[in-house]
Structure 1
Amino acid sequence: MWAILSVLVENKPGILFKVTHMFRSRNFNIDSISVGITDNPNYSRMTITSYGDEKQITQIVKQLDKMIDTVEVKQLDEHKTVFRELCIFKLKLSNANDSMEVNKLANAYGGKVHDVKKDSIMVELTSTPDQIKAFEELENNLE
């Protein structure tokens, strides 16, 4: 099962290392992690996704909660949570037609085109992991 964890921690140097070390030392995998300061500069929020059975996820939550610098750990309900990823693609262009094809593809997936040059183009895509993977597969066919 997927777990999306929201972890409020004290904003101190080394806390990211402590959290990732806890995962590594217990042989848990972090699928994604994002850390940012909150409106209170004394705290940061980590959003961590991990995969495991119910026992493993429960263990992760307990271990995070035990850490001294942890203020709060919440397991978010995946059915009530919008999960998005940001991906920026830099694509090579071999001709002017490629630029038009990439623009069409980016528009179809709700992406934004940035930094168009003679031989490359950048596409920003914010979507679900499945949509990003599908876009990546299609753009690979253009090369």
Structure 2
Amino acid sequence: MINKHTISAWVNDQPGVLQRISGLFGRRGFNIDSITVGNSEEPGLSRMIIVTTGDEQTVDQIEKQLSKLIDVIKVDHLSSSDMVARELCFIKVRVEPSKRPEILGVVNTFRASVIDIGPNSLIVQVVGELYKIEAMVELLKPYGILELTRTGATAMRRGDCWMNS
């Protein structure tokens, strides 16, 4: 069965690591739905969160290929266990001042926030799981989305474990 999978990779914080990992995906014909990279709790290590689509065999192959790269310290298939995942999205919406209360109702329902107000537009910030962001985008489409940008998912296992498989 083809599903979305979230993989965490702890990597050496070195130039070129992201390029080598994305190159591995490209050479093997694996798709990256999203990838986020940032510092981790360990100095010198970055954490990559990669969301990809495939069956269990494909994800197993991705994990094995990633583990072979020199700068990859640890690979963890997060979606194989209980995890927390979130994404950040900014949505710039065309809005006349008379329609602002209507849009603010949508924003409040989603526990989102307005982070900028222009003469004829608003920028809405929404944080949450993929389905929440998709639902918010769908509700704002009729007003006219001028711009949209997303961070991609960030995630970690629930509980007290660190780098635990």
Q: Give your verdict on TM over 0.5.
A: yes
RMSD: 1.3
TM-score (norm 1): 0.93
Identity %: 35
Whole-angstrom distance in 2 between the partners of 1:15 and 1:7: 11
State the secondary structure of the residue aligned to 2:14: coil
Whole-angstrom distance in 2 between the partners of 1:73 and 1:139: 37
Q: Which moved more, 1:59-68 or 1:73-82?
A: 73-82
Q: Which runs of 5+ in 1 are unaligned?
A: none
- RCO comparison, higher one (Cα < 8 Å, 6+): 2
Segments of 4+ moved more than 3 angstroms: none
Per-residue deviation, residues 93-136 of structure 1 (Å, max 9, x unmatched)? 2x222211111110011101111121111100012211211111
Per-residue deviation, residues 41-94 of structure 1 (Å, max 9, x unmatched)? 31111011111111111100000000011100011135511222110011112x
Flag the 1:28–1:79 CA change in 2: closer, same or farther, 3 A.
same
TM-score (norm 2): 0.81
The answer for the alignment partner of 2:35 in structure 1 is: 33
Question: Counting strand residues as a fraction of each chain, which structure ranks higher?
Answer: 2
Flag the 1:130–1:44 CA change in 2: closer, same or farther, 3 A.
same
Q: Which runs of 5+ in 2 are unaligned?
A: 145-165
Question: Which of these residues, 43, 46, 50, is aligned with residue 44 of structure 1?
Answer: 46
